[in-house]
Amino acid sequence: MLSQSIINLTPMNSAELLKINKPLILRPIRSFVHRQAGLSKERERALNTLLTAYGLPFKELLNLEQIFQRAAPITLEIGFGMGHNLLEQAQQYPEKNFLGIEVHRPGIAAVLLGIENLELHNVKIIHADAWEVMNTCIPNKYLDTIQIFFPDPWPKRRHHKRRLIQLEFAKLLQTKLKTGGQLQLATDWQDYAEHILSVLENTSGLKNQAGQNQFSPRLAQRPPTKFEKRGQQLGHLIWDLVFYATK
């Protein structure tokens, strides 16, 4: 009887099999939404022609020494927006290599144009979700500095789970820093600042440079960005945080 029923089974196609063996995908909730933004012709051109020169693939571990053809301290900026900080820092510190990660197309285009116009040789960008890039492309103990300035605040309580800075992400960032490497953040949302402080204080291998539970003085080299100015117009204070990797 049993063998009969087995014989009578129609073979499943791969789609049906997949339904049964549906893999459990532990993908974090996205910290961004894709906004449809019209692009100027110049920015369209930048995306179509400059990404191959100044962008990097995000499917494999990166060898930035080879890509930049030199060994130099590496600063990674996550969520660079329109690139004010990234382009400014790359000009200010030609002796360092810079990598930027962003998902927002106008920002990607703006930075590509900036790299071209300023003839910068020390900046590359990746157009992808920082979670994926950190997991796939960045070797452990590789980065001297990670910068995350004005991450999306997701102010509504029901959206807090979308905030980029969560314990799992902080742990991931920690593993990518060299010992002594710095994690620099700023936000203009008080409750997010307190959340970030608490998350980083509870991340093993990170230590607060300003002292336990303290915010840092404003980083001297951090130029005001669009989102910092917007926060100030709303009357918000700005909170800086600097942690370093102890292992």
Ligand X SMILES: C[S@@+](CC[C@H](N)C(=O)[O-])C[C@H]1O[C@@H](n2cnc3c(N)ncnc32)[C@H](O)[C@@H]1O
Residues with a known catalytic role: 152
Residue 94 neighbours by CB under 8 Å, 6+ apart: 122
Residue with Cβ nearer ligand X (81 or 181): 81
- Please report how close the Cβ of residue 119 comes to ligand X at its closest, in angstroms: 23
Residue 131 neighbours by CB under 8 Å, 6+ apart: 28, 31, 169, 172
- Whole-angstrom Cα distance, residue 54 to residue 193? 33
Q: Does 98 bind ligand X (CB under 6 A)?
A: no
Q: Helices 84-92 and 105-118, interaxial angle, to 10°? A: 20
- List, in sequence order, every beta strand (DSSP E) within 73-151: 74-78, 97-102, 123-127, 143-149
Quick one: which of 70, 159, 226, 247 contacts ligand X (CB under 6 A)?
A: 226
- Please report how close the Cβ of residue 107 comes to ligand X at its closest, in angstroms: 5
Residue with Cβ nearer ligand X (58 or 207): 58
Residue with Cβ nearer ligand X (219 or 246): 219
Alpha helices in the chain (DSSP H): 2-8, 14-20, 41-45, 51-54, 64-68, 84-92, 105-118, 130-136, 167-176, 190-201, 226-233
Residue with Cβ nearer ligand X (155 or 180): 155
- Please report how close the Cβ of residue 232 comes to ligand X at its closest, in angstroms: 12
Q: Does 238 bind ligand X (CB under 6 A)?
A: no
Task: Using the rule CB under 6 A, give the single segment among 66-74, 96-104, 113-121, 173-181 that binds ligand X.
Answer: 96-104
Q: Residues 183, 124, 143, CA angle at the centre, nearest 5°?
A: 30
Q: Is 239 within 8 Å of 186 (Cβ atoms)?
A: yes
Residues 15-44 touching ligand X, rule: CB under 6 A, are 31-32
- Please report how close the Cβ of residue 34 comes to ligand X at its closest, in angstroms: 9
Q: Does 123 bind ligand X (CB under 6 A)?
A: no
Residue with Cβ nearer ligand X (55 or 151): 151
By CB under 6 A, name the binding residues for ligand X: 31-32, 78-81, 101-104, 107, 129-131, 149-152, 164, 225-228
